[in-house]
Amino acid sequence: MIHFNPETSTFNLHLKHSYYAFQIDSAGRVVHLGWGPRPETATETERIRGSIRYQTYPPHLSFITQHRPDEILAFGDVTTYQETLKVAFPTAGSPLARGESPHLPVRDLRLRYDQHEIVVSGSPGLSPAHGLPTGRMSERETLRVHLIDPVQPFKVILNYRLTPEHDILERWIELKNEGDHTVTVDTCYFASIHVPPGTIQLTTLSGSWAAEFTPTRQDLNQGIFILESRSVQTGHQANPFFMLNTPDRATEEGGTVYFGQLAYSGSWRITFEQITTRQIRVHAGYNPFDFKINLAPGDTHITPALICGVCQDGWGGASRRMHDFLLERVLPAPRGSQPWRPVLYNSWEDTYFDLDYDHQVTLARRAAAIGVELFCLDDGWFGDRRSDRAGLGDWYASPAIFPKGLRPLVDEVHQLGMKFGLWVEPEMVNRDSNLYRMHPDWVLHFPGRERSEARNQLILDLGRTEVVEYLQATLDSLVTENAIDFFKWDMNRNVSEPGSVAGQAIWYRHCESVYRIMDYLRRRHPNLDIQSCSGGGGRVDAGILARTDQVWVSDNTDALDRIQIQEGFSLCYPARVMEAWVTHNQNRITNRVWPLALRFDVAMRGILGIGTNLAGLSDVELAECAAYIAYYKRIRHIIQSGHLYRLQNLQTFGESVIEYVMPDGREAVCSVILRDFRPGSIRPLSPLRGLNSSGEYQVFDRDFSEFARLSGFELMTLGIPSEPDQYPGYSRTWYLTQID
C-alpha cells in the first residue's frame, strides 16, 4: 500500500513485512527516510508521519558535504560521491547570464519534486514487456514521483512498484528530454538504494566459465566495491545479484537481509559504496563504462528495473522471496497442458560437432523409451558447421547431415511423443559463413581495425535494424518450417571491439534487440519455449527470465562441482529454471567418475536433463535411467514449485542438504549429497522445515521403497535418520508425503 501525507510530504510504502519511506524536503528534494522490517504488530494505518526529523547528519564541514540520502543522486547535487544519474546539457539550450561564458557542456542536474501519481500495473522498461502472461497477473501499485530540473527542460520519473506479498520493490527511472536539443546521459543507474549504516556484509555470486555462481561473502570497507559486466550479456564473472546484512546478525534462516537483482542482461554495474559517514549506498543499473544515451528532443528513455527487498528470515528467506517473485511475476506462465518443465535430452556432450542423422534417430528412440519429453539437437546441425570454425550465421540444415532438411528428424521426435528442441546462436557469425561473406559490415567492429575473434566468431551488430529484422525472419521461418518447440539460445563470447552504428548505446541496445527478437518469436509462436545459455551460465538474470523458460547453468556437469554451482544459483534463482544434465560416467571436463545415482540426485535438484551417450548404455543402465526419470516425474512438482530450504551447505560439513516443500506442507523432497568424507566425525542431522508437525509422513527412497515413517514433529526436530554407509558421493533424494 502506498500512502502520501500531504502535511509532511511523506511517502510510506507498506509491504507485507517491510516498509519503505521517503519525504520531500523544503527545497523539493526527495530524501530517503528508511527501509526495513515493519514491526510485527503494525497495522496498515501505522506509518511514519514525517513530522519529526529523525536523522541528524553531520554538519556540513568543508570536507564532509553531500551526504544527504537522496532517493536519486543527481550529478549536480552530488559530485563527491557516486551519482545515480549524470546528464550533459548542451550550452545551446542552457540559460547564460549576460556576459557569462559557456561552460561546455553543462554537467549539472538538479531534480526537484513536481507531482506524483499512483498507477496500477506499471511496466518497467525492458523487463516483462513480452506481453505473455506471467503466473500471477493481479494488479500492483506503482508510485511515480515526477521530478523536474528547475532550469533545464528535463524530467525524471522515479518508479516504485510494490509486490507486497513478497516484500519486493521494483525500482526504475524514466528520463524525458523536453527541450529542443539533444542531451547526453553519461551515468544512469536504475536506482540507488540506502541501507542502514553497518549493513556491510555482502553476499555475491561470482566465478568464471565452468565455475559460475560461486557465493562470496565479504565485508564492505569505506570506498567502492564494484560488480559488473563489460560485455553485452550478463557474464560469467559476476551475476547481477546481492544480499547485504549486518555482520553476525544474519544466518541462513534468521536476521535482517536486504537483497537485490537486476532485470537486465546487458552491460551492467552494481556499485556498493560506503561513504565517509559510514552510510551505505548501492547503485545498480547500466554500466557507465563507455556508456552514453543520446536523448533527442522529445525522447523518453525507460530503464529496466532493480528488483529489491528486505526480509527478516535470513539468506534463505531472501532467496525464497526472489524465487516466488520470479516464478509468479517474471517468468512466462506455463503454457499448454504441461505445467512442469519437461525432462530433456541433449546430445552435445555425446556428439559435439560429430553429428550423424542415424545416430540422432537412435538417441531419440532411446530417449523416448526411458521417459524423456524434450529432445534437443545441439550445435553442429547447420551450414558448414563441422567444427567451431565455420557456419555460424547460416541457419539452414547441413545438407551433408540432413539431406532432406531437419523435418524428418523433427517428425520422428514428435512421433515418439517428445518435443523437439534446437540449438541456435543467433547473435554470432563465423568469418567462414555465407552470412559474413555477404555482410562483412554486419559485425561489431571499428572501421580499419582488427576484428578480434573468440571461439572463431564475431558478434553481429544488433544496433542495426536490418540485422534484427534478418534474425527475426530467419528464426521465425526455422520455427514455422520445422515445427520447433524449443530453442536453446546460446551466446559464446564477450565483446572486444564494441563499434556499432548505434554508437555507445550498443551496450544496452544489443540486449534490447535480443529481447525484441525473443519477444517477437514468442508472440508469433506462443507455445515456443526458450532456454537461455551463454557458454553455460553467462546469461542468467531476471531480464532474460522474462522471456525464457529455463537456463543452462554451467558447462561443468561434474556432479560434485555442480552441487556448489547449483547451491550458489539457488541464492537468487528458482529450481524451476535450472536445467541440469546427467552426463557420462567419466566427466568430460574433470575426468572424474561418479555413480549414476549421484549424477541423477544432483540433476534432479532442478530440471532433469540427460546429456550422455544413450546408445552406449547397457539395457540395465537404461532401465536404471528410466526408473530415476519416473521417480523425478513423481516429485518434480515439488522441486519446480515448492519452497527451497538450504538445510546444510557444503562449507560447514562438506554435505549439501536441500529441501523443497509444498506451501501446504503435505509433500516435500529432501536431497542429501555428501562431498567430503571425514572419517571419525559425525555430521549433524538436518531438521526439515515447513511440514505439518502433527502429520504422519512416509519417506520414500528413489526406488519408491519406503525408507521410514515419521511424524512431522520428528522430521522437523531431528530430521531424516542417517544411513551408515556414507562415503564421498553418497546421495539420496527422499520423497516425503503426508498420509493422514
553-582 footprint of ligand DGJ as x/- string (CB under 6 A): --x---------------------------
- 19, 291, 325, 348: which one contacts ligand DGJ (CB under 6 A)? 348
533 binds ligand DGJ (CB under 6 A): yes
Q: How far is Cα 583 from Cα 612, in angstroms, rounded to an integer? A: 4
Q: Specify burial of residue 206 (Cβ count, 10 A radius: 0-12, 13-18, 19+).
A: middle
391 binds ligand DGJ (CB under 6 A): no
Neighbours of 475 (CB within 10 A): 24
Question: Angle of helix 357-370 relative to helix 619-641, nearest 10 degrees?
Answer: 70
Residues 7-66 that bind ligand DGJ (CB under 6 A): none
Residue 435 near residue 457 (C-beta atoms within 8 A): no
The backbone torsions φ and ψ at residue 235, rounded to the nearest 5 degrees and listed phi first, read 100, 155
Residue in the structure block whose three cell numbers are 563470447: 493
How far is Cα of residue 560 from the mean position of the Cα atoms in its chain? Answer: 23
C-alpha cell at 734: 527422499
Q: How do 18-24 and 10-14 pair as beta strands?
A: antiparallel
123-162 footprint of ligand DGJ as x/- string (CB under 6 A): ----------------------------------------
Q: Which is nearer to ligand DGJ, 423 or 507 (CB)?
A: 423
Q: How do 268-274 and 223-228 pair as beta strands?
A: antiparallel
Neighbours of 706 (CB within 10 A): 9
Neighbours of 214 (CB within 10 A): 16
Amino acid at 569: F
C-alpha cell at 537: 551460465
- 258, 552, 707, 734: which one contacts ligand DGJ (CB under 6 A)? 552
Q: Which is nearer to ligand DGJ, 529 or 555 (CB)?
A: 555
Least separation, in Å, of the C-beta of 349 and ligand DGJ?
8
* Helix and strand counts by DSSP (H, E) for the chain: 13, 36
Least separation, in Å, of the C-beta of 432 and ligand DGJ?
16
Least separation, in Å, of the C-beta of 345 and ligand DGJ?
13
492 binds ligand DGJ (CB under 6 A): yes
619 labelled catalytic: no
Residues 227-286 that bind ligand DGJ (CB under 6 A): none
Catalytic residue among 555, 558, 561, 601: 555
Stretch of 151-159, 303-311, 528-536, 615-623 lying at the interface with ligand DGJ (CB under 6 A): 528-536
490 binds ligand DGJ (CB under 6 A): yes
Q: How far is Cα 275 from Cα 64, in angstroms, rounded to an integer? A: 10
Q: How do 696-700 and 731-738 pair as beta strands?
A: antiparallel
644 CB-near residues (< 8 Å, 6+ apart):
316, 319, 320, 323, 570, 574, 575, 658, 659, 660
Least separation, in Å, of the C-beta of 537 and ligand DGJ?
9
Which DSSP symbol is given to 405? -
C-alpha cell at 689: 522445515
Least separation, in Å, of the C-beta of 411 and ligand DGJ?
23
Q: Which is nearer to ligand DGJ, 77 or 432 (CB)?
A: 432
Half-sphere exposure for 676 (CA within 13 Å, toward CB): 14
Half-sphere exposure for 448 (CA within 13 Å, toward CB): 0
Least separation, in Å, of the C-beta of 421 and ligand DGJ?
11
Q: Which is nearer to ligand DGJ, 355 or 688 (CB)?
A: 355
| Residue 517 CA: distances (Å) to CA of 381, 469, 485, 523 | 22, 8, 16, 10
Taking alpha carbons only, the member of 113, 91, 99 closest to residue 31 is 113
Least separation, in Å, of the C-beta of 688 and ligand DGJ?
34
The backbone torsions φ and ψ at residue 362, rounded to the nearest 5 degrees and listed phi first, read -60, -45
Residue 697 near residue 709 (C-beta atoms within 8 A): yes
Whose CB is nearest to ligand DGJ? 379
- 423, 660, 700, 707: which one contacts ligand DGJ (CB under 6 A)? 423
Catalytic residue among 70, 324, 350, 490: 490
Q: Which is nearer to ligand DGJ, 192 or 554 (CB)?
A: 554
Least separation, in Å, of the C-beta of 360 and ligand DGJ?
15
| Residue 619 CA: distances (Å) to CA of 366, 368, 615 | 10, 14, 10
Q: Which is nearer to ligand DGJ, 382 or 402 (CB)?
A: 382
- 350, 378, 512, 714: which one contacts ligand DGJ (CB under 6 A)? 378
Q: How far is Cα 22 from Cα 48, in angstroms, rounded to an integer? A: 9
Q: Which is nearer to ligand DGJ, 285 or 536 (CB)?
A: 536
Q: Which is nearer to ligand DGJ, 589 or 708 (CB)?
A: 589
Least separation, in Å, of the C-beta of 611 and ligand DGJ?
8
Stretch of 65-73, 249-257, 529-537, 594-602 lying at the interface with ligand DGJ (CB under 6 A): 529-537
Least separation, in Å, of the C-beta of 694 and ligand DGJ?
47
Q: Which is nearer to ligand DGJ, 350 or 378 (CB)?
A: 378
Stretch of 13-21, 32-40, 148-156, 531-539 lying at the interface with ligand DGJ (CB under 6 A): 531-539
Q: Which is nearer to ligand DGJ, 238 or 533 (CB)?
A: 533
Least separation, in Å, of the C-beta of 597 and ligand DGJ?
24
555 labelled catalytic: yes
C-alpha cell at 166: 513478497
Q: Which is nearer to ligand DGJ, 121 or 208 (CB)?
A: 208
442 binds ligand DGJ (CB under 6 A): no
Stretch of 109-117, 141-149, 280-288, 530-538 lying at the interface with ligand DGJ (CB under 6 A): 530-538
The three-point CA angle 462-467-471 to 5° equals 100
Number of residues that bind ligand DGJ (CB under 6 A): 11
C-alpha cell at 551: 537456463
Query: Residue numbers of the site for ligand DGJ (CB under 6 A)?
Result: 348, 378-379, 423, 490, 492, 533, 535-536, 552, 555
| Residues noted as catalytic | 490, 555
